[in-house]
C-alpha cells in the first residue's frame, strides 16, 4: 500500500486465480484509462475433474508467459505492473488506534496485527494504510494487510518465472474494493461485493464512510459443478456444460419441490454462499452499527451463472446485480460487447495509482 501517486503511461493488472489468469493492459489518459487489451486463460484442463491440492503453482508460469507474448507486452518496458495475492494466508482488517507518529506506528501495528489477523507473527509481512484521523478523538482508522513470507515468495517466483519484475502486490479484497471505488459514483451507504471465483468467494463490504470488511467464503463455481455431478450422476465435463447452460435455474426448481417433501438433504453451493453472506452481514451490523446495505454486486467468473443474481436478491433481500467495472473505461469498438465481470479484479489492480 504505497502512499504516493505514481506516474506511468501504461499499466498491467494480473489476477492469478486458482482456475484462470486474467490479464489487462491499460493506457493512462489525462482522466481515467483506456483498455488496450485483455486475455483470460484457464490454468486447468477444460472439462477434466482435478484436485486443487494436487496442482502446483508452477503451472502458472508458462501460461502467464504465453499471455504476455500474445498480448505483445514487454514486461521490461511497462513500469506499472500490479498483481494480487489471496487465500487463507492473507488477511485484511480495519482497526482503530490512538494517534501515533509514523516512526512509532509501524512497530505498534505489528503487535496489533498479531491480535487481529489470524497469521503466525514470526513470518508475517505487514502493510497498512491510514484511512482517516478522527477530529474529536484524534484516533486513527487504519486498514491492516498481512500475509506470510512464503505466500509473497511463491507469488514473486511465478512472476519472475514469466520474466516479470514484481511491482505492487495487493491483497485481493483490496483490489476488489479498488475496482469498485475507482469506477463508481457512490452514494452514502454500504455496498457488498461478491467476487465469485472457482474455489472461493471473496466478500467485501465497502462504502464511502463505512467500515471496511473482507472475508473469504470457501465455495465457488467448481463446487456448483460438483453439486450437479452428484445430483445427476454425470461426468465433470457434462456437469460443467450443464452449469454454463442452465446455471442454477434448474436447481432452484428441484429445490422447491424437495422442500415440500421435507427433504433435509445437504445444502447446495449457492445456498451455502448465501447463508455465509447472511452471517457476515449480521456480524457487520453488530460490529459497525450500519445496516444501510444499498446493493450486492457480483463479479468473477461464476457471477455470470444464470439465475444467481435473482437468487441472491431473493435470499438476502438486497438489490443485486452483476457489477460493470467498465463504466469509466474508454473501450475500443472490438471490446464493446465483451464486457466480462471476470476482469473486475485485474482492472482494479491496473487502475491502482498509488
Cell numbers for 60? 502458472
pLDDT digits (tens, 9 = 90+) for 265-289: 578 999 999 999 999 999 999 999 9
pTM, rounded to two decimals? 0.91
DSSP string, 68-93: HHHTT--TTT-SEEEEEE-STTEEEE
The mean pLDDT of the chain is 89
Residue 313, C-beta contacts closer than 8 angstroms, at least 6 positions apart: 296, 319, 320
User: What CA–CA distances, in Å, run from 108 to 72, 115, 135?
Assistant: 45, 11, 21
Distance CA 194, CA 323 (A): 10
Through-space distance between the first and last CA atoms of the chain, rounded to whole angstroms? 7
Strand partners, 27: 10, 34
- In order of start, what are the domains of the chain with their CATH numbers? 1-89+149-183+325-354 (3.30.420.40), 185-323 (3.30.420.40)
Q: Tell me how far apart the alpha carbons of residues 69 and 58 are, in angstroms, rounded to a whole number.
A: 18
| Helices and strands (H, E) in the chain, number of each type | 10, 14
The cell numbers describing 263, all together, are 427433504
pLDDT one digit per residue (tens) for the chain, 354 residues: 445 567 889 999 999 998 999 999 999 998 889 999 999 999 998 888 888 888 888 899 999 999 999 999 998 899 899 999 998 889 889 988 899 888 888 888 888 888 888 777 668 898 998 888 888 898 999 999 999 999 999 999 999 999 999 889 999 998 898 888 887 777 788 999 999 999 999 999 999 889 999 999 999 999 999 999 999 999 999 999 999 999 987 555 555 555 444 454 578 999 999 999 999 999 999 999 999 999 999 999 999 999 999 999 999 999 999 998 888 889 888 887 778 889 999 999 999 877
Residue with cell 509514523: 102
- Beta pairing class for 293-299 and 320-322: parallel
Q: Is the dihedral of CA 342, 75, 8, 28 positive or negative?
A: negative
DSSP string, 223-252: HHHHHHHHHHT--HHHHHHHHHHHTTHHHH
CA atoms of 224 and 243, how far apart (whole Å): 7
Return the DSSP state at 328.
Answer: T
User: For the chain, what's the residue count?
Assistant: 354
For residues 186 and 195, the answer to whether their CB atoms sit within 8 Å is no
- pLDDT tens-digit map of 98-132: 998 888 888 888 888 888 887 776 688 989 988 88
Amino acid at each position: 500500500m504505497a502512499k504516493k501517486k505514481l506516474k506511468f503511461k501504461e499499466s498491467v493488472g494480473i489476477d492469478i486465480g486458482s482456475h484462470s489468469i486474467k490479464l489487462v493492459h491499460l493506457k493512462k489518459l489525462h482522466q481515467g484509462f483506456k483498455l488496450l487489451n485483455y486475455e483470460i486463460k484457464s490454468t486447468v484442463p477444460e472439462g477434466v475433474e482435478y484436485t486443487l491440492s494436487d496442482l502446483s503453482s508452477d503451472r502458472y508460469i508458462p501460461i502467464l508467459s504465453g499471455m504476455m507474448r500474445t498480448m505483445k507486452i514487454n514486461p521490461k518496458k511497462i513500469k506499472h505492473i500490479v498483481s494480487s495475492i489471496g487465500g487463507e494466508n492473507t488477511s485484511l482488517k480495519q482497526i482503530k488506534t490512538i494517534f501515533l507518529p509514523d516512526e512509532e506506528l509501524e512497530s505498534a501495528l505489528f503487535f496489533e496485527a498479531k491480535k487481529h489477523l489470524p497469521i503466525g507473527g514470526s513470518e508475517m509481512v505487514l502493510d497498512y494504510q491510514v484511512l482517516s484521523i478522527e477530529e474529536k478523538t484524534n484516533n486513527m482508522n487504519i486498514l491492516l494487510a498481512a500475509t506470510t513470507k512464503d505466500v509473497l515468495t511463491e507469488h514473486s517466483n511465478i512472476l519472475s518465472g514469466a520474466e516479470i519484475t514484481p511491482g505492487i502486490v495487493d491483497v485481493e479484497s483490496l483490489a476488489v474494493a479498488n475496482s469498485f471505488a475507482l469506477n463508481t459514483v457512490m452514494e452514502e451507504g454500504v455496498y457488498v461485493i461478491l467476487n465469485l471465483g472457482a474455489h472461493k468467494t471473496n466478500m467485501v463490504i465497502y462504502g464511502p464512510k463505512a467500515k471496511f470488511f473482507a472475508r473469504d467464503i470457501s465455495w465457488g463455481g467448481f463446487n456448483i459443478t460438483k453439486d450437479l455431478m452428484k445430483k445427476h450422476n454425470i461426468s465433470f465435463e457434462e456437469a460443467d456444460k450443464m452449469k454454463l447452460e442452465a446455471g442454477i435455474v434448474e436447481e432452484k426448481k428441484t429445490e422447491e419441490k424437495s422442500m415440500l417433501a421435507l427433504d433435509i438433504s445437504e445444502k447446495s453451493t449457492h445456498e451455502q454462499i448465501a447463508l455465509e453472506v447472511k452471517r457476515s452481514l449480521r456480524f457487520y451490523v453488530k460490529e459497525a452499527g450500519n445496516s444501510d446495505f444499498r446493493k450486492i454486486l457480483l463479479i468473477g467468473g461464476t457471477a455470470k451463472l444464470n439465475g444467481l443474481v435473482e437468487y441472491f436478491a431473493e435470499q438476502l433481500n438486497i438489490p443485486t446485480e452483476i457489477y460493470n467495472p467498465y463504466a469509466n473505461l474508454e473501450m475500443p469498438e472490438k471490446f464493446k460487447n465483451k464486457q466480462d465481470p471476470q476482469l473486475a479484479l485485474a482492472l482494479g489492480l491496473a487502475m491502482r495509482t498509488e
